[in-house]
């Protein structure tokens, strides 16, 4: 429970416990020590009452008429309220203590146990108890004095607690705000935002931590830029290598396949009509060569889709989807392709094309889907690409295969994000790429 409390709660809870403990301690102290103090304060009057009783007993013992002497003593007491004569009635009732509560609460008077403060001294006539000299002091002023003292201590404790709470609130606020800023800054760093620095404020320890976090953010920002530059360079090298391989396949393998096809056709034309086996073999060779040429074109298309620059990105994606519809006529393909995609060029346009190409290929090979939706739009300065399907989804232990891992590296090189989700029975690959930042990077690369 303690670990769930906020810093303010951790400060105020001990203060409240200390205040309640102080009240309880004060009440216990009053209960045990106040009666003894009151009795000590009234001890001189109690001794005086005892001396009066001793003198009266002596006078009654020496008097020839003790009853008349006692009556004269009682009349002499008159209306005195503190020292009274109480005739014997066969019982020993407690001595009444006069305590007018006034503004003092009854619970406080009861807490003081005032019934033990009075005293009674027996008066004897010829060996028999004639009554008691009773000392019943008026302790109203004493009770009120102790009530005022109790209120003063309580009020002082309350004021001290409030002042301490106020100081703790100010101190906690002065520490919590910088700590909150530090926590928010660390969260931004975890999310990859290294641009917005943490405000340096608060106590020296927190200021030092904020300065170190800012220095770490700057270092991570530089490393992130270097990493993105390195990834961009790797992607560029991969594209260059694919372009070279595509050129080799086109320049070397293409003419060879065309030559084989031409020679096979020429051979078929010279084969006599009665050589059916030879004609069948030549037709099989021609079919294999045509299949190789189609495979070569598909490989060339995957290695280097050269027609992006000629047709534009949106039309190139449309051509790709036409091929998909031809390959999988049972698959329902819907697409939302924005014409604003043509404003992108270089690695950005190639990444978008390959993202859609890889996503569509995964759906055709693995998803066993009946419907697929492709979206490529520009929104809020970002290029958003999403390929979703209603297929069987992805294994829980293998979210990113080799193809999507390569796409993730491309996306990171362009400061984008890539996520793979499974929601409401549909699998979606979603990519976001900032357009402005990549235009600046391309311009910087061209200037360099």
pLDDT at 386: 93
State the Cα–Cα distance between residues 90 and 109, nearest whole angstrom: 30
pLDDT at 81: 65
Interacting residues of 12 by C-beta distance below 8 A, sequence separation 6+: 165, 168
pLDDT at 79: 66
pLDDT at 278: 80
Sheet of 371-379: strands edge to edge? 332-337, 371-379, 382-389, 426-434, 417-423
pLDDT digits (tens, 9 = 90+) for 299-322: 777 776 656 766 778 888 888 888
Smallest CA-to-CA distance from 136 within 75, 93, 88 is with 93
Would the pLDDT of 443 be above 50? no
Output the CA torsion 388→392→393→395 (10° steps).
-160
pLDDT at 84: 78
Would the pLDDT of 3 be above 70? no
pLDDT at 399: 58
Q: Average per-residue pLDDT in the chain?
A: 79
pLDDT at 389: 92
Smallest CA-to-CA distance from 434 within 248, 228, 149, 169 is with 228
pLDDT at 447: 41
Mean pLDDT of 213-230: 84
Would the pLDDT of 445 be above 50? no
pLDDT at 400: 60
pLDDT at 92: 58
Spell out the alpha helix ranges (H) of 191-203. none
Domains observed in the chain? 2-163 (no CATH), 190-227 (no CATH), 312-448 (3.30.565.10)
Which is more confidently placed, 172 or 194? 194
pLDDT band at 405; cut points 50, 70, 90: confident
Would the pLDDT of 355 be above 70? yes
Kindly report the length of the chain.
448
Q: Identify the burial level of 405 via C-beta atoms within 10 angstroms of its C-beta, where 0-12 means exposed, 13-18 middle and 19 or more buried.
A: exposed
pLDDT at 362: 87
pLDDT digits (tens, 9 = 90+) for 252-276: 887 888 888 888 888 888 877 777 7
Which is more confidently placed, 74 or 419? 419
pLDDT digits (tens, 9 = 90+) for 33-86: 777 777 777 778 788 888 888 888 888 888 888 888 888 888 887 766 677 777
């Amino acid at each position: 429970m303690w670990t769930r409390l906020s810093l303010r709660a951790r400060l105020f809870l001990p203060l409240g416990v200390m205040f309640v403990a102080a009240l309880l301690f004060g009440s216990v102290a009053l209960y045990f020590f106040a009666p003894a103090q009151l009795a000590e304060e009234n001890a001189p009057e109690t001794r005086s009452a005892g001396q009066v009783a001793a003198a009266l007993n002596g006078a009654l013992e020496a008097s020839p008429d003790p009853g008349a002497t006692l009556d004269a003593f009682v009349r002499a007491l008159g209306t005195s309220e503190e020292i009274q004569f109480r005739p014997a009635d066969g019982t020993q009732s407690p001595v009444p203590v006069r305590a007018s509560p006034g503004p003092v609460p009854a619970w406080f008077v009861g807490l003081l146990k005032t019934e033990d403060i009075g005293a009674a001294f027996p008066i004897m006539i010829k060996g028999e108890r004639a009554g008691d000299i009773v000392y019943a002091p008026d302790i109203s002023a004493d009770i009120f004095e102790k009530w005022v003292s109790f209120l003063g201590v309580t009020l002082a404790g309350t004021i001290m607690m409030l002042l301490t709470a106020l100081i703790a609130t100010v101190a906690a606020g002065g520490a919590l705000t910088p700590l909150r800023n530090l926590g928010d800054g660390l969260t931004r760093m975890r999310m990859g935002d290294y641009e917005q620095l943490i405000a340096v404020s608060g106590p020296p320890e927190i200021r030092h931590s904020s300065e170190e976090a800012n220095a770490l953010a700057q270092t991570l920002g530089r490393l992130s830029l270097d990493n993105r530059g390195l990834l961009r360079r790797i992607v560029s090298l991969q594209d260059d290598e694919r372009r070279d391989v595509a050129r080799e396949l086109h320049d070397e393998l293409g003419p060879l396949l065309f030559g084989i096809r031409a020679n096979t056709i020429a051979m078929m034309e010279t084969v006599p009509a009665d050589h059916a086996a030879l004609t069948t073999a030549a037709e099989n060779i021609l079919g294999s060569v045509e299949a190789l040429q189609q495979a070569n074109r598909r490989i060339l298309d995957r290695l280097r889709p050269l027609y992006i620059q000629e047709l534009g990105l949106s039309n190139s994606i449309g051509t790709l989807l036409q091929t998909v519809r031809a390959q999988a006529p049972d698959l329902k393909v819907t697409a939302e392709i924005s014409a604003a995609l043509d404003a992108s060029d270089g690695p950005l346009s190639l990444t978008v094309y390959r993202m859609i190409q890889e996503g569509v290929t995964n759906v055709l090979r693995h998803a066993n889907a009946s419907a697929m939706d492709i979206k490529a739009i520009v929104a809020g300065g970002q290029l958003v690409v999403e390929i979703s399907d209603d297929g069987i989804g992805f294994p829980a232990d293998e979210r990113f295969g080799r193809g999507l891992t390569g796409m993730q590296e491309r996306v990171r090189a362009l400061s984008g994000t890539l996520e793979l989700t499974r929601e409401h029975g549909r699998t979606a690959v979603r990519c976001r790429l900032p357009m402005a930042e990549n235009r600046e990077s391309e311009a910087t690369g061209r200037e360099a």
